[in-house]
Amino acid sequence: MAVQTELDPVADLIAEAKRVLPGGSFGNLPAEVVIRAGKAAHVWDEHGKEYVDFLLGSGPMFIGHGHPEVTAAVESQLPHGSTYFGNNRHGIALARAIVDAVPCAEQVRFVCTGTEADLYAMRAVRAFRRRDKILKFEGGYHGMSDYALMSMAPKNPGNFPRAIPDSAGIPKSVRDEMLIAAFNDVDMVESLIKEHKDELAGVIVEPFQRLLPPQPGFLQALRRITKEHDIPLIFDEVVTGFRFAYGGAQEYYGVTPDVCTLGKIVGGGYALAAIAGRADIMAHFDRLAMADEDFLFQVGTLSGNPIASIAGLATLEVLKRPGAYEQVFATGRELKAALGDILSKAGIKATVVGEPPLFDVVFTDQPIKDYRDTLKGDKAIATKFNKLLRERGIMKGESKYYVSLAHTRADIDQTIGAWTEAAAELKKG
């Protein structure tokens, strides 16, 4: 007799993913999470389960999924083609909007991902300074290039920050080109820069490193020290750009770098990122302005394509409206405070870290100022908490709550309810 198997199309989809994708996934989330749709601050998985979304596509969907104005803008361009390789009016308008918004931006070069933007920003300061070494911070994430993947998440960091590759396949020689300092440690950065100033091309930093705010005076000191030695300072604003303020973290914290990188929000959920900065550094991208040995060769098939550009422009239009940032910050402040309160009332050792538009909890009661401090957090509890939340209709990644303009009163209430239940479950052990 034939055995009857129940049809489960989602199980089939997951099995198919496991067959054709390494690890069964695109590399970002587990194979079991298959998302079908997103609208405003909600997503639905392939089972039809609805979630309040704090993943937001890992940040770009700051005004919500499928925003009607972004959709209309993209639809207006679609009949005219999706990419030309050459300049187009929407890309030029977006570059203009970036120059108007971002304090350090005098000129802009478009690419498609934050990884590329960071790679070229580092290359641009190397070309400008005619030096090779870049200083980055332990725990700082600047995409997936060989250079960026030095001590982004070292498992055994040793006694002192140093360049440790985060991935297989990175040439050993790359270690020698990167200097590593501890975030928020002015003395360490100052002594490293003084010692290596003659070989340093630049310093790259996330002004808000993953979840860690800069301590008061840290970014100002970084600016002062780099300026003293004429070393370009790069802010990686792939996450913070247009999130912390319309002018990014540089506006929010009041420190202007020489170059910054943008991604995520600036492309409105489409593939677009940018390097923006001082005209004399950006000039290295200009074949006509540079001698051969100073010219930074850079092209990209989809760079500045009109679909992503018009989506970015429509997103910025929404963000420019009065009250947009006030609303995101009010939502974030309420959520952050509630999360801390719920965990503290439940007697769980936890510290909520971050700024209102981007935060998470680290399960430790120790102070957290740099990467090593984050390792003190109990990862197993964090994973369990996230799982309990997902079961209760809250979608987030392993770390980070991305807050959006689309989160509503009902979303906040649902999230607080889920946190309360999940904390009670954690307490049971």
Ligand X SMILES: Cc1ncc(COP(=O)(O)O)c(C=O)c1O
Task: Give catalytic residue positions.
Answer: 141, 236, 264
Q: How far is the CB of 251 from ligand X (least distance, A)?
A: 17
Tell me how crowded residue 143 is: count the other CB atoms within 10 A of its CB: 20
Of 241, 306, 320, 319, nearest to 93 (Cα)? Answer: 306
Of 52, 275, 267, nearest to 142 (Cα)? Answer: 275
> How far from 297 is each of 285, 294, 365, CA to CA, in Å?
7, 9, 49
Under DSSP, is residue 180 helix (H, G, I), strand (E, B) or coil? strand
263 vs 269, which CB is nearer to ligand X? 263
Using DSSP bridges, classify how beta strands 233-237 and 200-205 pair: parallel, antiparallel or unpaired: parallel
Q: Does 113 bind ligand X (CB under 6 A)?
A: yes
Among 54, 62, 128, 141, binds ligand X (CB under 6 A): 141
Q: Does 263 bind ligand X (CB under 6 A)?
A: yes
Q: How far is the CB of 181 from ligand X (least distance, A)?
A: 17
Q: How far is the CB of 398 from ligand X (least distance, A)?
A: 12
First to last CA, the chain: 46
- 344 φ, ψ (degrees, to nearest 5): -70, -40
Q: How far is the CB of 209 from ligand X (least distance, A)?
A: 8
Among 180, 239, 316, 418, binds ligand X (CB under 6 A): 239
Among 238, 274, 282, 310, binds ligand X (CB under 6 A): 238
**Within its chain, how far is the Cα of 331 from the centroid?**
20
206 vs 373, which CB is nearer to ligand X? 206
The site map against ligand X for 48-87 (x = CB under 6 A) is: ----------x-----------------------------
Among 143, 247, 304, 356, binds ligand X (CB under 6 A): 143
Of 68, 110, 70, 75, nearest to 93 (Cα)? Answer: 110
Residues 175-234 that bind ligand X (CB under 6 A): 206
240 vs 256, which CB is nearer to ligand X? 240
**Binders of ligand X: how many residues, by CB under 6 A?**
14
**Within its chain, how far is the Cα of 163 from the centroid?**
21
Which residue of this chain has its Cβ atom nearest to ligand X in the complex? 114
For residues 100 and 94, give the distance between their C-alpha atoms in angstroms, rounded to a whole number: 10
312 vs 350, which CB is nearer to ligand X? 312
Sorted by sequence, the CB contacts under 8 Å of residue 98 that are 6+ apart come out as: 105, 108, 262, 266, 274, 276
Under DSSP, is residue 8 helix (H, G, I), strand (E, B) or coil? coil
Q: How far is the CB of 114 from ligand X (least distance, A)?
A: 2
The site map against ligand X for 266-305 (x = CB under 6 A) is: -------x--------------------------------
Q: How far is the CB of 138 from ligand X (least distance, A)?
A: 14
Is residue 200 within 8 A of residue 231, CB to CB? The reply is yes
237 vs 411, which CB is nearer to ligand X? 237
Q: What phi-psi label fits residue 166: left (phi over 0), alpha (psi between -120 and 50 degrees) or beta?
A: alpha
- 401 φ, ψ (degrees, to nearest 5): -100, 110
Q: How far is the CB of 218 from ligand X (least distance, A)?
A: 17
Q: Does 236 bind ligand X (CB under 6 A)?
A: yes
Q: Does 374 bind ligand X (CB under 6 A)?
A: no
Query: Interface with ligand X by CB under 6 A: which residues?
Result: 58, 113-115, 118, 141-143, 206, 236, 238-239, 263, 273
